[in-house]
Amino acid sequence: MMFNLEKEIKDWKKSLRKNQSLEDGYIAELESHLRDEIEKEISLGLNEEEAFIKAKTSIGSSEKLASEYYKSDTKSISGKPSWEAPFWMPDLFFNYLKTGLRIFNRYKGFSFINLFGLIIGITSCALIAIYIVNELSYDKHHINSENIYRVAVKRSYPNQEIKSAATQRPFADYLRSNFPEVINAARVSKERAGNVIVKNGEKSFYENHLIFSDNNLFEIFTIPFIKGDPEAALSDPFSIVISEETANKYFGESNPIGKILSLKFKGGNEFFDYYISGVFENHENIKSHLNYDLIATYKNHPYVGSPDEQDNWEGLNLYTYIQLQSGLDIKKIEEKLNKKAIDKIALMLREELNISYEEYTAAGNGFSYFLQPLTSIHLYSDLSDELEINGDILYVYLFSVIAVMVLVLAGINFMNLSIARYSTRLKEIAVRKVFGSQRKQLIVQFLSESFVISFLALILSVIFVPVVLPYINSITGLDLSFNLLNYFLIIIGLSVFVVMTGLLSNLYPALYLSSNSPYFLLKGILFWGSSKKNRITNGMVVFQFVISISLIICTLVIAEQNKYLLNKKLGFEKDQVLIIEGSESVLGKSESFRNSLENYSDILSVTNSQAVPGNSIGITRLYIKDKPENKGSSVEWLTVGFNYLETFGLKLISGRDFNEEIGSDSMAVILNETAVKSLNLENPVGEIVLYEDRPYTIIGVLEDFHFSSLHRKIQPMAIFGPDPYNQNRPNQILALRIKKTNVQETINYIRERWGEFTQEQQFIFSFLDKKINSLYQRDLKTRNLFAFFTIDAILIGCVGLFGLSSFAIRRKTKDIGTRKVLGATTYQIIILVSSEFIKLVLTAYLVAVPISYFSMTLWLNEFAYSISLKIDLFIIGAVISILLTTLTVGYQTLTTALSNPIKALKYE
Amino acid sequence: MISKNLAAASTKPLILTILRGGENYGYQIIQRVKELSGGQLEWADGMLYPVLHKLEKDGFVSTSWKLSDEGRRRKYYQITDLGRKELEKDMKQWMSVHSVMLKLWGNNPAFES
């Protein structure tokens, strides 16, 4: 293209005009200078273009010029032009802020709706983030945590597999001395809550976090000592290390070292003195799957301290933690471990089952060790004998997804509302343009308006979160702790989100509106008239409702499944059953205690047993006598006293219950249906099964019942009678069925009788139904959390819909007015306006149904027993969604429909 | 090259002195400064104009728009009486500074030693 000098000069002048201190006179003078210079350069032999560029450069930058002119005009001392912000601030920052606040003030309703939605979104997201950070922080506080593993056991049986977190007592020593890769190994035995009373003089407490261990524990784990020497703290028999808090509890301010704490174990009646050899720091804010307030020497444990017990390979009694050299291949270590430890496994099997390892594996069984990284125990481990109910990585993922969804919902809301609001501000934008606003300035102005709202929301949420956290904890049953440092990081993350939302939600309208000519904007013929933009907004609304409706349906399904879990017929009567543990010493002493209970009128029946529904029980293998072709079956088993069936309301299909009058019942067994099936017996009653080579006659068959939680399928089960052979495994749990009336008096009566027979053993009781319900604690937590976030999502969705519909209705005011004048009824108007939104919600519903169906099918698969996804839940979901939409849109629709058409038509 | 500060300080007497020799317009003034200083004194050309504007505001110069032979509009600057007085004041100050420097340096300016 040819160089056009005049055009270039014109453009140059235009660029000068952008600076507000350059007045026309100045520019004219500068132009004449430019022309003189060009002329001179041309006379010196340059062409027009070169001359223009040279002249332009010699005059210098327009910004500098403008600022110099300003200085010569102003009286201010710094001489800084008012439009030039400090270097660290974007141009016109305060002006934008001011406008932002003014807009906020002018559109109060809109702004609050927007603010509200954002606050909910950010707050929930922060809460989820706290939850996730909490879950991920388990067991990370140990210096060696990367190299610490827990050894666990996998036992396979022909028809099932059981993984246990517990190992044998001598295993830690064995590992330390036989594997050079194992730097250190420690064993941890934890007493169950309520098992041990700790006493110092008058002060005595049940300690729920008492563990027994060895000195090695302090080398593996990071447990900072305040007093005492960690290397020798547990060397002496009967020494104990306690936390600072525990020390304060028992000894106040005085130095506890060398003092005595007395421990009494459940079932025992003797106090054992432990002297305090160390105090360690409290572990507040530290999350661990292993919690301890007191650590005592395991080596000389009063009950299992004998060399025989300590070297007992039979039972899986305690937890073994090892520290490995770093950088090892764990799979290889496990292989090596299992190969080398076969003789020890064999030892265990011989003692337990009296068969050789070869016989054991030949029958389709298996026994192997595996290693669990310490830091993954909380989220990934769900073995039997876990120390606590662990978390689940699935929920971490699930809630991460929900957090992102809630944020997206809030972001979409923000965007939709902003777009809607701009449609009422076209004139303002036009006027700004006419007065010389540049496109860039308009964009920055829009963005700063949205930043005003989003940052306000951020600040309010940041204040809000610590306030609501305790409530969330109590609603959901979670134990989220508030850590300022973590929270700070979360806030930084959220700020990034807020900036993104502010930017993204307004960038599109800002770019679009600022690009249009003021003429079109003033005429209002642009933008909102076109259906294309509506399609985008509608798409967003549909997307929001897909999320909300999916969550609604999921919550309904989860609630339904929980109801099912808690109310399903379990095959036994869980109500009105009182459980008293640790009763063997009382029952063993005399029959009269039992008789005194049986004779009390409000006690319907009394039994004792090794286990009650909800307990975990052992597995053994039964064979049929004289039928070598029958391979037998592995069964879960327990021993019970008389009246067990009656007390728990178990139903016999055939045969009879144990009978005190029949002496041979000590060698009798009752099976459940599943056991009969897996043993392939057609006429089970009267058959004889072999249990540990001893013959037991089947006297009855029970209808299947859910001994363990509904997460597990019903297993084959054998119930042995009161057998002298099993005396070393006493039936220590007392269970009583009592009348519904006078419950408190009944309990008092039992307590009194109990006190007559034993002083040492505490009377601790629980109700079976509570015990059963506690099996579903985690499921209930999930339901509560889900419900919480569903309400969240619904709120955000409704808030957005409310704002959007109010703008939509305002656009339609004239339309509605005209229709009313022409004779439309209120009813017709309501249908007209709401139908638009109902259509959107129904579209969303159609998308949400398969999504929620799929994810809930997946979730229900986690349960062995679950509801089937019936259509009614989906219908309820639809009804709720439509109801919510109607309610949200309804009020405004109604007021518009009822209003005087004249007003509507006058509306401008 | 003369330092920025010194150049800025000398601009006012420089311009006023040039205008004392008769009215002139911006472009010519800049050319004169360039000629006289042999290129030692140079600003971005445009920067002269805010200075002229300031002189006008202070009343040291008066201005009038004229049409040149080529038909170009030019803003001419004339020195006022106030301007002459200001220039005299400036000259005295510059000369006293000059004489101090001269005494200090003698005829043997620092850069020769």
pLDDT higher than 60, residue A265: yes
Rounded CA separation A848/A590 (Å):
65
Rounded CA separation B41/B19 (Å):
18
Rounded CA separation A239/A276 (Å):
6
Closest CA to A131 of A485, A393, A480: A480
Q: Which has the higher per-residue pLDDT, A318 or A344?
A: A318
pLDDT number for residue A398: 83
Which chain B positions have a beta carbon within 8 Å of A42's beta carbon? none
User: How are beta strands A271-280 and A733-738 bridged, if at all?
Assistant: unpaired
Which of A473-480's residues contact partners 24+ apart within 8 Å by CB, and which partners?
A: A475/A784, A475/A788, A476/A781, A476/A784, A476/A785, A476/A788, A477/A777, A477/A780, A477/A781, A477/A784, A478/A131, A478/A781, A478/A785, A480/A127, A480/A130, A480/A131, A480/A134
pLDDT higher than 90, residue A847: yes
CA of residue A577 relative to chain centroid, distance: 33
Hey, what are A532's tokens?
């294309």
* Strands, E assignment, A90-208: 148-157, 160-164, 182-190, 196-200, 203-206
- Judged by a CB distance cut-off of 8 A, whether residue A58 touches chain B is yes
Rounded CA separation A666/A725 (Å):
9
pLDDT number for residue A88: 60
Question: What chain B residue is nearest to A57 in terms of C-alpha separation?
Answer: B44
Q: Please, which residues bridge with residue A582 across strands?
A: none
- Between CA B57 and CA B62, with CA B58 as vertex, the angle to 5 degrees is 65
**pLDDT tens digits, A77-105:** 666 666 665 556 666 677 777 877 888 88
Q: Which of residues 45-104 of B touch A (CB under 8 A)?
A: 45-47, 49-51, 53-54, 57, 72-75
Least reliable range by pLDDT among A119-128, A422-431, B22-31, B76-85:
A422-431
Q: What average pLDDT does this structure show over A354-358?
A: 77
Q: How confident is the model at residue A585 (pLDDT cuts 50, 70, 90)?
A: low
pLDDT number for residue A81: 66
Structural domains in chain B (count): 1
CA of residue A360 relative to chain centroid, distance: 41
Q: Under an 8 A CB cutoff, do B49 and A69 touch?
A: yes
CB A780 within 8 A of CB A562: yes
Q: Under an 8 A CB cutoff, do B44 and A58 touch?
A: yes
Which chain A positions have a beta carbon within 8 Å of B51's beta carbon? 68, 72
| C-alpha distance from A72 to closest chain B C-alpha (Å) | 5
Burial class (CB in 10 A: 0-12, 13-18, 19+), B3: exposed
Hey, what are A631's tokens?
């391979």
pLDDT number for residue A230: 87
Q: How confident is the model at residue A528 (pLDDT cuts 50, 70, 90)?
A: very low
Rounded CA separation A124/A839 (Å):
29
Rounded CA separation A210/A168 (Å):
19
Question: What chain B residue is nearest to A26 in terms of C-alpha separation?
Answer: B49
Least reliable range by pLDDT among A516-520, A536-540, A874-878, B81-85:
A516-520
pLDDT number for residue A789: 79
**pLDDT tens digits, A741-777:** 888 889 888 888 888 877 666 777 889 888 888 888 7
- Judged by a CB distance cut-off of 8 A, whether residue A618 touches chain B is no
Phi, psi at residue A610, to the nearest 5°? -75, -30
The full 3-state SS of A200-233, as one line of letters, equals ECCEEEECCCEEEECCHHHHHCCCCEEEECCCCC
pLDDT higher than 60, residue A526: no
Percent of chain A with pLDDT over 90: 12
Q: Under an 8 A CB cutoff, do B73 and A28 touch?
A: yes
Q: Under an 8 A CB cutoff, do B50 and A36 touch?
A: no
- Judged by a CB distance cut-off of 8 A, whether residue A79 touches chain B is no
Q: What average pLDDT does this structure show over A613-620?
A: 80
CA of residue A257 relative to chain centroid, distance: 41
Residue A68's identity, in one-letter code, is E
| C-alpha distance from B96 to closest chain A C-alpha (Å) | 28
- Judged by a CB distance cut-off of 8 A, whether residue A895 touches chain B is no
**pLDDT tens digits, A450-482:** 888 888 889 999 898 888 888 888 877 777 777
Taking each helix axis from N to C terminus, what angle separates A484-514 and A108-136, rounded to the nearest 10 degrees? 140
Question: What chain B residue is nearest to A55 in terms of C-alpha separation?
Answer: B45
* Strands, E assignment, chain B: 24-25, 61-67, 73-79
- Judged by a CB distance cut-off of 8 A, whether residue B25 touches chain A is yes
Q: What average pLDDT does this structure show over A560-566?
A: 85
Question: What chain A residue is nearest to B30 in terms of C-alpha separation?
Answer: A33
Closest CA to A309 of A351, A273, A264: A351
Which chain B positions have a beta carbon within 8 Å of A43's beta carbon? none
Which chain B positions have a beta carbon within 8 Å of A65's beta carbon? 46-47, 49-50
Q: Please, which residues bridge with residue A154 across strands?
A: A163, A368
Sign for the pseudo-dihedral over CA of A4, A5, A6, A12: positive
Closest CA to B44 of A734, A614, A61, A773: A61
Closest CA to A812 of A835, A795, A843, A839: A835
pLDDT higher than 60, residue A135: yes
| Nearest beta carbon to residue A68 from set B26, B27, B50 | B50
Q: Which of B15, B24, B27 to mutate to test the interface with A (most CBs of A within 10 A)?
A: B27
**pLDDT tens digits, A307-337:** 877 888 877 888 999 999 988 899 999 999 8
Q: What average pLDDT does this structure show over A348-354?
A: 70
pLDDT number for residue A277: 92
Q: Which of A68, A70, A73 to mutate to test the interface with B (most CBs of B within 10 A)?
A: A68
- Judged by a CB distance cut-off of 8 A, whether residue B1 touches chain A is no
Q: Which of A36, A37, A74 to mutate to test the interface with B (most CBs of B within 10 A)?
A: A36
Question: What chain B residue is nearest to A34 in terms of C-alpha separation?
Answer: B27
**The total number of residues written for chain A in this structure:** 908
Q: How is A456-477 classified by DSSP, letter by letter?
A: HHHHHHHHHHHHHHHHHHHHH-
Sign for the pseudo-dihedral over CA of A177, A182, A186, A189: negative
CB A111 within 8 A of CB A420: no
Hey, what are A351's tokens?
């003692």
Phi, psi at residue A687, to the nearest 5°? -65, 160
- Judged by a CB distance cut-off of 8 A, whether residue A38 touches chain B is no
pLDDT number for residue B113: 43
Rounded CA separation A240/A262 (Å):
10
| Nearest beta carbon to residue A60 from set B26, B47, B74 | B47
Hey, what are B83's tokens?
């301007």
Rounded CA separation A587/A732 (Å):
8
| Nearest beta carbon to residue A60 from set B27, B44, B57 | B44
pLDDT higher than 70, residue A292: yes
Q: What average pLDDT does this structure show over A552-569?
A: 86
CB A151 within 8 A of CB A496: no
- Judged by a CB distance cut-off of 8 A, whether residue A60 touches chain B is yes
Residues whose CB is less than 8 angstroms from the CB of residue A158 and which lie 6 or more positions away in sequence, other chains included: A363, A364, A365, A631, A633, A634
User: How are beta strands A239-243 and A366-373 bridged, if at all?
Assistant: unpaired
Q: What average pLDDT does this structure show over A125-137?
A: 87
User: How are beta strands A694-702 and A668-672 bridged, if at all?
Assistant: parallel
Which chain B positions have a beta carbon within 8 Å of A35's beta carbon? 72
pLDDT number for residue A760: 64
CB A189 within 8 A of CB A317: yes
Rounded CA separation A46/A878 (Å):
79
| Nearest beta carbon to residue B46 from set A28, A32, A59 | A59
| C-alpha distance from A486 to closest chain B C-alpha (Å) | 53
Rounded CA separation A294/A317 (Å):
19
Q: How confident is the model at residue A589 (pLDDT cuts 50, 70, 90)?
A: low
Percent of chain B with pLDDT over 70: 89
Q: Which has the higher per-residue pLDDT, A176 or A72?
A: A176
Q: Under an 8 A CB cutoff, do A33 and B54 touch?
A: no
pLDDT number for residue A90: 61
Residue A713: DSSP 8-state: P
Q: How confident is the model at residue A533 (pLDDT cuts 50, 70, 90)?
A: low
Rounded CA separation A283/A280 (Å):
9
Sign for the pseudo-dihedral over CA of A331, A335, A340, A344: positive
Rounded CA separation A243/A281 (Å):
6
Hey, what are A66's tokens?
């403008």
pLDDT higher than 60, residue A532: no
Place of tokens 């022409």: A822
pLDDT number for residue A91: 61
pLDDT number for residue A372: 94
Kind and range of the H or E element at B5? Answer: helix B4-20
- Give the count of beta carbons closer than 10 Å to the beta carbon of residue B87: 20
CB A403 within 8 A of CB A124: yes
**pLDDT tens digits, B43-73:** 677 788 888 888 888 889 998 888 887 788 8
Which chain A positions have a beta carbon within 8 Å of B12's beta carbon? none
pLDDT higher than 60, residue A539: yes
pLDDT higher than 70, residue A659: yes
CB A252 within 8 A of CB A201: no
Between the CA of residue A300 and those of A234, A274, A291, A318, A775, what are the distances in Å? 10, 11, 22, 15, 34
Place of tokens 């049953």: A477
Between the CA of residue A905 and those of A424, A893, A908, what are the distances in Å? 17, 16, 8
Q: What average pLDDT does this structure show over A701-727?
A: 81
H-only helix segments in A735-821: 743-757, 768-773, 777-811, 813-821
Q: What average pLDDT does this structure show over A369-394?
A: 87
Residue A876's identity, in one-letter code, is I
Q: What average pLDDT does this structure show over A802-826?
A: 80
Q: What average pLDDT does this structure show over A160-176?
A: 87
- Between CA A411 and CA A416, with CA A412 as vertex, the angle to 5 degrees is 125
Question: What chain B residue is nearest to A73 in terms of C-alpha separation?
Answer: B54
pLDDT number for residue B111: 55
- Judged by a CB distance cut-off of 8 A, whether residue B32 touches chain A is no
User: How are beta strands A694-702 and A319-324 bridged, if at all?
Assistant: unpaired
Q: Residue B48 sits in a domain of what CATH number?
A: 1.10.10.10
Question: What chain A residue is nearest to B26 in terms of C-alpha separation?
Answer: A33
**pLDDT tens digits, A173-223:** 999 988 999 999 999 998 876 678 888 887 888 888 899 998 889 999 999
3-class DSSP state for residue B99?
A: helix
Q: What average pLDDT does this structure show over A785-800?
A: 80
pLDDT number for residue A701: 93
Sign for the pseudo-dihedral over CA of A772, A778, A780, A781: positive
Percent of chain A with pLDDT over 70: 92
pLDDT higher than 80, residue A363: no
Rounded CA separation A24/A484 (Å):
58
Q: What average pLDDT does this structure show over A695-705?
A: 91
Hey, what are A297's tokens?
């020497």
CB B45 within 8 A of CB B26: no
Rounded CA separation A809/A817 (Å):
11
Q: Which domain holds residue B63?
A: 4-112
Residue B49's identity, in one-letter code, is Y
- Judged by a CB distance cut-off of 8 A, whether residue A753 touches chain B is no
CB A587 within 8 A of CB A733: no
